[in-house]
Structure 1
Amino acid sequence: MTRILLTRHGHVDGIRPARFRGRAELPLTARGLAQADALARRIAGRWKPSAVYTSAMQRCIVTGRRVAEMCGIRASVHGGLGDIDYGAWQMRTHEEVAQEAPDAYRLWRQAPHLLRFPGGESLQDVVARTADALRLVMAQHGSETVVLVGHDSVNRALLLQLLDQPLSAYWKLAQDPCGLSEIEISGAGDVRVGFLNDTSHLEGIV
Structure 2
Amino acid sequence: MLTLYITRHGETVWNAENRMQGRLDSSLTDKGKLHAQLLGRRLENTEFTAVITSPSGRTVQTAELIKGDRQIPIVKDSRLMEIHLGSWEGRTHEEIKEMNAYQFDCFWNKPNLYQNSEGESFQDVLDRVLAVLKDIEQTYSSGNVLIVTHAVVIKTMYMVMKQLPIEEFWSPPIIHGTSLTIVELNDGKKRFLLEADLSHVKQEAHL
Structure 2 CA distance, aligned partners of 1:184 and 1:130? 17
Task: Single out whichever of 119-128 and 105-114 deviates more from structure 2.
Answer: 105-114
> Could you tell me how far 1:55 is from its partner in structure 2?
0.3
The answer on 1:79 being equivalent to 2:84 is no
Q: Show the counterpart of 2:36.
A: 36
Matched, 1:5 2:5: yes
1:149-160 alignment runs, 5 A limit: 149-160=148-159
Instruction: Tell me the amino acid that sits aligned with residue 83 of structure 2.
Output: I
Note the C-alpha offset of 1:70. 4.4
Alignment CA distance shift 1:153-1:126 (3 Å)? same
Amino acid at match of 2:96: V
CA contact (8 A) 1:3 1:145 kept: yes
Deviation at 1:114, TM superposition (A): 2.1
Partner of 1:19: 19
Q: Please state whether the residue corresponding to 2:37 is helix, strand or coil.
A: helix
Partner Cα distance (1:66, 1:103) in 2: 38
1:56-205 to 2 correspondences below 5 Å: 56-173=55-172, 174-187=174-187, 189-203=188-202, 204=204
Deviation at 1:118, TM superposition (A): 3.5
Deviation, 1:17, is 4.0
Q: TM-score, normalised by structure 2?
A: 0.93
Alpha-carbon deviation of 1:79?
1.1
Matches of 1:15 and 1:51, distance apart in 2: 27
Distance 1:161 1:200 in 2: 25
- % identity of equivalent residues: 27
Letter in 1 for 2:127: A
SS at match of 1:175: coil
2:105 and 2:72 map into 1 onto residues whose CA distance is 44
**Unaligned regions of 5+ residues in structure 2, if any?**
none
Figure out how many residues of one structure are paired with residues of the other and give that number.
204
Q: Contact 2:80/2:149 (CA < 8 Å) preserved in 1?
A: yes
Contact 1:12–1:26 under 8 Å retained in 2: yes
Aligned 8 A contact 1:49 1:71 in 2: no
**Which runs of 4 or more aligned residues in structure 1 lie more than 4 Å from their structure 2 counterparts after TM superposition?**
none
Contact 1:88 / 1:117 at 8 angstroms: preserved in 2? no
Distance 1:66 1:110 in 2: 34
Query: Deviation per CA, 1:128-164, whole angstroms, max 9, x where unpaired?
Result: 1111221121001111110000001111111110111
Contact residue 19 and residue 91 of structure 2 kept, 8 A: yes
- CA distance in 1 between counterparts of 2:2 and 2:133 reads 10
Distance in 1, matches of 2:125 and 2:169, equals 12
* Paired AA for residue 39 in structure 2: L
